A and B are shown apart, each in its own frame.
Chain A
Amino acid sequence: MTVTHHPVDLLRFNTCGSVDDGKSTLIGRLLYDSKSLMEDQIEALERSADITGGGQINLANLTDGLRAEREQGITIDVAYRYFATPHRKFIIADTPGHVQYTRNMVTGASTANLSIILVDARQGVIEQSRRHAIIASLLRIPHLVVAINKMDLVDWSEERFLEIKDQFEEFLPRLDIKDVKFIPVSALQGDNIVTLSAHTPWYPGPTLLGHLETVHIASDWNLSNFRFPVQWVNRPNNPTDHTLHDFRGLSGQIAGGIVRVGQKVMILPSGFSSTIKQIWTLDGLQEEAFSPQSVTLVLEHDLDISRGDVIVDAEDLPGASSDLHAKICWMNPRPLTPGKQYLIKHTNQTVKASVTAIEHRINISTLEKEDGITELAMNDLGEIRLKTAKPLIYDGYAINRLTGSFILIEPGTNTTVAAGMLLPPTEVARPEYRDFAI
């Protein structure tokens, strides 16, 4: 850990790849080489090395925190790790490689700015690498790093590195990832992780950590379209401060864009118009605020607004519809079958929904859309149509990760069964939607 005297920003990344590609070792290495490991952690590693590892420290043990993981030598669940350099703070999600844990990969990747895909240099690009790149692309992770690992086992061969890079680049054009970086590494020995390796004179850099510290992430949030899903109505009860008697604030996290005092807004689905009177925070009134800040808005008019309503810029309306088209990742052992009822949680509201059609499944090896599908099984990716009991106020996921995403919940068991990403709306919200207000 390093003291940071000036504000630093935060980069969230996840690591993925197939089993044994070296994800846990890589994270252990990043922590170890950036001096983020503490003596008791190193001692604990050494202790278990003496008992189980024949004296060899196993860096993977740092992240494989559950007993079953240590016993089976695999990563079951997403593990989160934290480290900092003078330039940035990092949150790492170590996501498992086993096919049956793809849902955890989606979990770890959903909040990431960047994904690292590990490829075993001996094996090259395999189905899992492709699957993970596709998930990263579907989730619109802005930055991708392909870390070609175990270079020590292929004699640090530039030829092999380029061969794998070619394999990967071959299917990249079909993905939606703008920024991809290829880095040859040995997680085990630390080559090109924090310092450039003498073994790869043909590689100009940057090192993995160097890249993580400098990749440009300022524009990863939507700052263009003001969206404010109301989370909690803030109404003081018998306040001692009588200026607060009529205080009616709307609390929430700005899901997109910038809001300013005096701005004209519309409340959806009711369609009522108003103006921003105050932006209230514990740190004082603000003139403006932006995504993803959490604030409390006070409007000029006293309107009937509740959780789930969305306040938007009056000149820039989102979509509104109860017929939705989305890409999803199915996460439950019981397959998705059309006609079944679920609950959909989207921004701050949960409403009933039924799946009206499965349009196709996405073949994750070829990226082809397969038609004539009757169900989606666990870890399948597909496109579906949904009907909701109440229109959703939303944007396409490509424009806004917060107003364009949802989860499906199975009633009864209450488990989260799918992660969904909405396709761009075909209908823009209109004041007529007042009819739908409850």
Chain B
Amino acid sequence: MKSYHLDHLDYLETEAIHIMREVAAEFERPAILFSGGKDSICLLRLAEKAFRPSDIPLPFLNVATGHEFPELLEFRDRRAKELGAKLIVRSVDEALEKGLAVQAPGQISRNQLQIPVLLSAIEEFRFDCCIGGARRDEEKARAKERFFSFRDSFGQWDPKNQRPEIWNLYNGRLNPGENMRVFPLSNWTEMDVWEYIKREKLEVPSIYFSHQRRCVRRGGQWVPDTKLMPAKANEEVKELIVRVRTIGDIISTGCVESPAATCDDIIAEIAAARVTERGSRADDRVSEAAMEDRKKAGYF
């Protein structure tokens, strides 16, 4: 007899498709945040699952730091084209020029500077909802996040005053100026993401797989050696066989030494991994509450 029972990936998938369709049905001007990273690649697949054979009824929005891995940009543009979607790119460079964002003295990483760029893009296009690929397992403050995460008219998140989220009934109602962030992958882990990429045979940017790269030792991790922040004389530089687990601003994205060349290798590596994926991002290690503070200020 046939078993009418979903395995864990099917369950996570149907939950996410349901959420995508709720967004398309309940918001007037929703968008999908697409960075070209592995989580947002899964989001796009889920959008296909939710809306085909129709066109995906949401434009893709990318907030570019200007410090991207080149492989990521190429992939982002190509994937959006393949899916026949409208891709909107707003960049930190542009925002710095216009004075919308200001670099703090000594601040080189641009992850923080994405906040004003995102908020002004939301205003420019009057987006009332942005679907993001954040997962609760990434970080402690994210673990408290709702699927439908309400933001006030300043784009801020108030963790103490979140709407209760019960069953699969999402309350997406907003007053003018307010905004919703929606995270269909909330319940996915890093492992689920890779198992899904494998199952769905999704292409991901090559930097997720093992490659040779000149790296510099900084803050207890290897980061790419780039012209943006050249290695100082006292810093150790090495040619290594590495891959990235999570992609941010190129100068603060940790590279892990790895021979993993396929999805299967990565899945085996994660299974044996002894540090979390965010353990390789310097921006989260600033303080115990680093992510909470960024989120309150309007980060993804």
Contact = CB atoms under 8 A, between A and B. Distances in A.
B276 interface: yes
B288 interface: yes
Contacts of A104: 164
B14 A294 contact: yes
A234 B169 contact: no
A251 B50 contact: yes
A343 to B, nearest CB: 8
Interface size class of A (residues with CB under 8 A): 35 or more
A256 to B, nearest CB: 12
Interface size class of B (residues with CB under 8 A): 35 or more
Interface in A398-436: 401-402, 405-407, 409, 414-416, 419
B174 interface: yes
B173 A414 contact: yes
A247 B53 contact: yes
B53 A79 contact: no
Contacts of B273: 1, 38
Contacts of A237: 54-55
Contact of A9 (B6, B169, B189, B191): B6
B78 interface: no
A191 B136 CA distance: 28
Interface stretch (B20-28, B69-77, B227-235): B20-28
A77 B162 contact: yes
B3 interface: yes
Interface stretch (B103-111, B140-148, B207-215): B140-148
A80 interface: yes
Interface in B187-206: 187, 189, 191-192, 195
A162 interface: no
B163 interface: yes
A271 B54 CA distance: 27
Interface in A328-350: 331, 343, 345-346, 348, 350
A100 to B, nearest CB: 11
| Interface SS of A by simple majority | mixed
Nearest to A343: B173
A218 B166 contact: no
A40 B245 CA distance: 15
Contacts of B292: 65-67
Contacts, number: 189
Contact of B271 (A3, A44, A106, A253): A3
B187 A294 contact: no
A168 to B, nearest CB: 26
A351 interface: no
A78 B163 CA distance: 11
Contact of B49 (A4, A38, A294): A294
A416 B171 contact: yes
B82 to A, nearest CB: 14
Interface string A102-125: 011011001100000000000000
Contacts of B173: 343, 350, 409, 414
B276 A66 contact: no
B6 A292 contact: yes
B96 interface: no
Interface in A69-105: 70, 76-82, 84, 89, 91, 103-104
B299 to A, nearest CB: 15
A258 interface: yes
A290 interface: yes
A272 interface: no
B159 interface: yes
Given A253-B14, A282-B49, A39 B274 contact: yes
A340 B268 CA distance: 57
Contacts of A68: 160
Contact of B164 (A8, A39, A48, A416): A416
7 contacts: A80-B136, A82-B187, A223-B4, A293-B10, A294-B13, A409-B173, A419-B164
Interface of B: 3-15, 17-18, 21-22, 24-25, 48-55, 136-137, 139-144, 159-160, 162-169, 171, 173-175, 186-187, 189, 191-192, 195, 267-268, 270-271, 273-276, 278-279, 288-289, 292
Interface of A: 1-4, 7-10, 38-41, 44, 48, 62-63, 65-68, 70, 76-82, 84, 89, 91, 103-104, 106-107, 110-111, 218, 223, 231-232, 234-237, 239, 241, 244, 247, 249, 251-253, 258, 280-282, 290, 292-294, 307, 331, 343, 345-346, 348, 350, 401-402, 405-407, 409, 414-416, 419
Listed from nearest, the 5 A-B pairs whose CB atoms lie closest are A65-B140, A7-B7, A40-B279, A3-B271, A294-B17
